[in-house]
Amino acid sequence: MIKIKYDIIVKLYKGEDYDEALEKAFELFNLCKNKNDKFWSQKILFLIADIYDKTRKYKNSLEYYKKSLEVVEFYVEDKNDLISSDSNLGLAFLKIGSLYQKLSVAKEEKNKFKYLDSAKYYYEKIENLPQLNNEIETIKAKAFNNLSAIYERDSVFDKAESYIKKSIRIHEKYNNKIGLAFATNNLGNIFLSQKNYKKSKDFYLEGINLIKDDNSTEAIRVKAGLYTNLAWAMRNLKDFKAYDFQEMSYEFQDNIRDKEFRGIIDELSSKFDFDAQKERFQRQEEVKLLKEKDKVNTIVVISVLILIFLLIIITYYSLRQKDLQIKLSKTELLQSQNLDKLKSESQVRILNAAIDGKESERKEIAETLHDNVSALLSSANLHLQASRGQFNGKVPIEIDKTQKIINEAATKIRSLSHSLMSSVLLKFGLNFAIKDIAEKYSNSELSIDTQIEGLRRYEQNFEIKTYNIIQEFINNILKHSEANNAFIKLREIENTLVLEISDDGIGFNKNTITAREGIGINQIDARIQMMKGKFKIITSKGNGTIIKVELPIQERETINLL
């Protein structure tokens, strides 16, 4: 009976119906706990932890993996082979270590080093397990991979290299090409961090070659990381093929993003988060118990003092109902607040997914116009020019007119391509692209000056997003400010881009602007939130506008197996 219910929950989990899976898992866990069935209790606790992990609730996931581990360790002491296998222990250690490592990466966490120490503690427990079978060795390979990533992050490169080579040996033993590509990528990261770009490039190419014909979701994710890191290494080697590999990385990332976007849409179908559902379930049970208790009390009191205390019973029951109504109202209010919060977060994520899609589409159209359509027009013009020589006498006027039309079309294509995606940005970076904006938009009515300090080339997606934010602010100045002068100040301070845009225009009322829908301040604010940045507007009617933005610099990202 328990196994049937467990299989139903697993099916819901695999179908990504996480809210219902979690609710049923808690019900089944309580049943097993009451029966003191530790075997199934451990399996269900592990499944609950998996669900929280999939929904990025890492602290909740950690809590239930640890509860599962307590049951496993109990069976180890009791020498019961149903649960106490080294495989189960190793998997529990790996999951807990991975969660501590994920928590250490989160920028808002203050206990990064404490989390990393905890991750290493659990990974080293795995290292001490005996190598009995394929499953244990695979777990060890993942732990070695993660330990290598931690030591690389701490610049302890000799230990990082030692652990990743242990992982590679295990993957080679079992011919696990995806695992081997992961580990080879991380080995390349170690040399990249030491600025040995040539050696890191060789390892990235080796990893790509291992899975070049594998189009599974996991392989695509690994390829995206490999191509991103390869592009970074080649850029530092001054090899301009880096941009071709960067484009290949974007193609793989777009593939992954499409799947994640579908996940976001599925997530929106849930009315509120799992914790809220659990809380609602518990409160509904409490309300039922209270109502039953009231009924029992009422029957007892009526049977003993049916005439004397009739009025007291009615009054008590009425007050009790009011109290229950207040509690229910509070519960509904709390659920409504949780729902509003989720809607707000989901709207930001959908808005940014739409903006990402728009940026990708604009880039693709611009490149098509510039690389293909412009080339075709140039080719047509060359053929017409060659045909002129075939006329002994006067060249027909139609050829002159056709060439003029082609030249005009080519000019418009170049202008359209540049308006969709700045070629200056892609080739030379933010420094020159922002100066190009200022020069292009300055005219007799509006003068735009710039002050740009200490900028370098950044990861291309980060540059495009930053450029689009600045361009949107400048468009707003052109459309609404009626300013004579504007000033763009951009500099890098402690791995953060600090942007300040000011104008001497008419200013505006922030309260009315932020309530608008569509493209504008709201979308800029959403974009900055997703980039973990800060955004502030200082303005009032008649006093111009100052916009301040701080964006943490997004460097290249490496793929580590967690």
Per-residue pLDDT tens over the stretch 47-79: 999 999 888 888 899 899 888 888 877 655 544
Residue 348: per-residue pLDDT: 54
Angle, helices 177-193/157-173, rounded to nearest 10 degrees: 160
Q: Which candidate, 69, 70, 111, places its Cα nearest to that of 94?
A: 69
Q: Which candidate, 495, 500, 422, 488, places its Cα nearest to that of 455?
A: 495
Residue 539 has φ and ψ, to the nearest 5°, of -160, 160
Q: Mean pLDDT over all residues of the chain?
A: 78
Q: Name the residue with tokens 């205390």.
A: 309
Taking the alpha carbons at both ends of the chain, their separation in whole angstroms is 34
CB under 8 A, 24+ apart: contacts of 153-157: 154/116, 155/193, 157/190, 157/193, 157/194
CA–CA dist 305, 326 (Å, integer): 29
The vertex-252 CA angle with 248 and 257, nearest 5°, equals: 140
Helices H / strands E in the chain, number of each: 21, 5
Q: Sheet with 447-453: list strands edge to edge.
A: 447-453, 485-493, 496-503, 545-552, 534-539
Residue 280: per-residue pLDDT: 56
CA–CA dist 528, 109 (Å, integer): 20
Q: Which residues are within 8 A (CB) of 191 and not within 5 positions of it... i.e. 6 or more apart? A: 197, 199, 200, 203
> Does residue 548 surpass a pLDDT of 90?
yes
CB atoms inside a 10 Å sphere around CB 339: 15
SS3 label, residue 457: coil
> What's the number of CA atoms in the CB half-sphere (13 Å) around residue 536?
8
Residue 333: per-residue pLDDT: 66
Q: Which candidate, 52, 72, 525, 505, places its Cα nearest to that of 275?
A: 52
Question: Which secondary structure element, helix H or strand E, spans residue 552, and what is its range?
Answer: strand 545-552
Instruction: Give pLDDT tens digits for 160-186.
Output: 999 999 999 989 988 999 989 999 999
What confidence category does residue 310 fall into, taking pLDDT thresholds of 50, 70 and 90?
confident
DSSP characters for 264-325?
HHHHHTSSS-HHHHHHHHHHHHHHHHHHHHHHHHHHHHHHHSTTTTHHHHHHHHHHHHHHHH
Q: Which candidate, 342, 331, 350, 328, places its Cα nearest to that of 273?
A: 342
What confidence category does residue 267 fall into, taking pLDDT thresholds of 50, 70 and 90?
very low
> Does residue 355 surpass a pLDDT of 70?
no
Question: Which secondary structure element, helix H or strand E, spans residue 366, and what is its range?
Answer: helix 310-368
Candidate from 138-142, 390-394, 418-422, 541-545 with smallest mean pLDDT: 418-422
Residue 48: per-residue pLDDT: 92
SS3 label, residue 11: helix
What confidence category does residue 245 fall into, taking pLDDT thresholds of 50, 70 and 90?
low
SS3 label, residue 453: strand
What's 487's DSSP letter?
E
Instruction: Give pLDDT tens digits for 359-383.
Output: 556 655 655 655 566 667 777 777 7
The percent of residues in the chain predicted with pLDDT above 90, rounded, is 17
What confidence category does residue 336 fall into, taking pLDDT thresholds of 50, 70 and 90?
low
Name the residue with higher pLDDT: 527 or 105. 527
The percent of residues in the chain predicted with pLDDT above 70, rounded, is 71
Q: Which amino acid belongs to residue 191?
A: F
SS3 label, residue 439: helix
> Does residue 559 surpass a pLDDT of 50?
no
Residue 214 zone, left/alpha/beta (φ > 0; ψ -120 to 50; rest):
beta
Q: Which tokens go with 337?
A: 């607040």
Q: Which tokens go with 304?
A: 């003993």
What confidence category does residue 265 fall into, taking pLDDT thresholds of 50, 70 and 90?
very low
Q: Which candidate, 462, 517, 449, places its Cα nearest to that of 492?
A: 462
